[in-house]
Amino acid sequence: MKITGIELRRIAMPLVAPFRTSFGTETERDVLLLRVVTPDAEGWAECVAMTDPLYSPEYVDGAAEVLRRFLIPALPAHPDAHTVGRALHPFKGHRMAKAALETAVLDAQLRVSGQSLAAFLGASADQVPCGVSIGIMNSIPELLDTVQGYLTEGYRRIKLKIEPGWDLAPVRAVRERFGPDLPLQVDANAAYTLADAPHLARLDPYDLLLIEQPLANDDLVQHARLAPRLTTPLCLDESIESAEHAAAAISLGACSIINIKPGRVGGYLEARRIHDLARAHGLAVWCGGMLETGIGRAANLALAALPGFTLPGDTSGSHRYYATDITEPFVPRDGHLPVPTGPGIGVDPVPDILDEVTVSTEWITL
């Protein structure tokens, strides 16, 4: 497959409501899209790096720079998804940028062959249960109203963002209001330390599905020490950047569940490797989200349809974050989203909407 050029497109996507986590509040997503152009097809991908390096060391401006200076020039003359990964391997880190480039090439490749991303990855489901992530709120009543709204919409699982000072009370309130059968989990985004173990153990009576990334992302050993002190299963997110990291976490006993975010681990091929590894060791996995537009959401649905994804992920409908998505909107039905079946990721941006939110474009000829 010969690539004639690659477009880097920046778009600004206002969120329908501020999204607050333990590391900051987002009101708008600054999104970097990649469009790979070949004589026979175009491939699209979304870089999930945030504006500031708060969730991870990567950020949007840095991703664009490393793509134009190092990653795109390193592409082989006739790339496919596998050769892209090998060509980019010598460059350290920058997994979100690498994931975007690999995915855009893979999307173009699959559009040429007429195969869907879901089929390529080995998906076994044609729909995926919807979970929703709820940011830190200003009050308990506001939180309860928000949870009620999502349950009314049919969401199958609720995830609450937590931090010191916003953890026991919101979890208790949601359990008391909505009962023991609600699938409920929490996400700390590395806001605690091992010294907080006795406090985190106070979440155990609430029968949570999991507590996600309670400690620092670079400390598997501390997570391994925390795990036996809790009855709530530990899930790792930021700590897992590769299949090698997943293998180390499994070996140490640092987690019993893994949140797989394709952008965080360098792409969908590496995400599938982590899925296969976890499944072989009996660990559950689920697909996390990074407030993706329809471009990233479509690809995540293909991944989440693999057989090892036994827990609902952050696969929300488009309207959870955006009043108007850049693709045809994903609308949950009976708490599920359909897995796209068209070639590649199965969706395209709507040109008029894409133009309306575009901030800048850059064309790189190969």
pLDDT (average), residues 308-324: 94
Confidence of residue 156 (pLDDT cuts 50, 70, 90): very high
**pTM exceeds 0.85:** yes
* 100 and 127 assigned to the same domain: no
* 147 and 281 assigned to the same domain: yes
Q: What is the pLDDT of residue 22?
A: 84
pLDDT (average), residues 62-84: 95
**Distance of alpha carbon 70 from alpha carbon 65, whole angstroms:** 8
* 141 and 10 assigned to the same domain: no
Q: Which residue in 246, 235, 248, 337 sits closest to 286, CA to CA?
A: 235
What integer best gives the mean pLDDT of the chain? 96
* 65 and 186 assigned to the same domain: no
* 214 and 357 assigned to the same domain: no
* 276 and 355 assigned to the same domain: no
| 24 pLDDT higher than 90 | no
Confidence of residue 23 (pLDDT cuts 50, 70, 90): confident
Number of domains the chain is built from:
2
* 356 and 329 assigned to the same domain: no
Q: What is the pLDDT of residue 131?
A: 95
What Cα–Cα distance (Å) separates residue 358 from each residue in 52, 216, 278, 349?
A: 19, 35, 39, 12
* 27 and 156 assigned to the same domain: no
* 30 and 175 assigned to the same domain: no
- CATH number, domain containing residue 193: 3.20.20.120
* 274 and 361 assigned to the same domain: no
For residues 88, 285, 190, 217, the Cα torsion angle rounded to the nearest 10 degrees is -40
* 54 and 137 assigned to the same domain: no
Q: Which residue in 243, 132, 122 sits closest to 183, CA to CA?
A: 132
Indicate which residues carry an active-site annotation.
Answer: 161, 261
Confidence of residue 342 (pLDDT cuts 50, 70, 90): very high
* 263 and 328 assigned to the same domain: yes
What digits encode the pLDDT tens for the residues 230-258? 999 999 999 999 999 999 999 999 999 99
**Residue ranges making up the domain that contains 35:** 5-113+347-365
Q: Residue 235: what are its φ and ψ, rounded to 5°?
A: -120, 135
